[in-house]
Amino acid sequence: MNIFKSLRKDKGLTREHVCDIISERGSALDPARLERIENGKFPIHPEEVLLLSEVYNEPMICNSYCTQECPIGMRYASPVDKTELEKIVLSMIASLNSMQKKQERLIEISSDGVVDEHEIRDFLKIQEELRSVSKNVESLKFWTEKEFKSR
């Protein structure tokens, strides 16, 4: 089942009700278009993803859209897993601790403004660790948005 249809059903909303909520917020989405999106007949537009993520209070669907459907996001964004705060924070601390250990090497590599052939391997490892830090930051951002918007 399509994620947008699944979320709508989980929230106990009809397509018409979703479109009414969107209309109350000053935007528009036709129930017939929403049906076609949910049934995979029409591709969803980024602005519609944003609207539905707000209505369903599910910011993670933005990340899902970007990493699975948007050509730019597929290249530059990392998929973020939905998880609990404790796991996000522990993973973030582990990444930051690992990065702290590699800080001196990063300074050595970058001090001359050039990554030479002897430094590439270490630089790529550091880059991967930075991706992990970034992913944890994004996870925390999505968790915070979901938790505090619902209050």
Query: What's the pLDDT score for residue 80?
Result: 87
DSSP state of 44: P
41 burial type by CB count under 10 A (0-12 exposed, 13-18 middle, 19+ buried): exposed
- Taking the model in full, what pTM does it have? 0.73
Distances (CA, A) of 2 to 54, 83, 133: 17, 21, 30
Whether residue 151 has pLDDT greater than 80 = no
pLDDT tens digits along 67-118 = 999 999 999 888 887 778 999 999 999 999 999 989 999 999 999 999 999 9
pLDDT of amino acid 128: 92
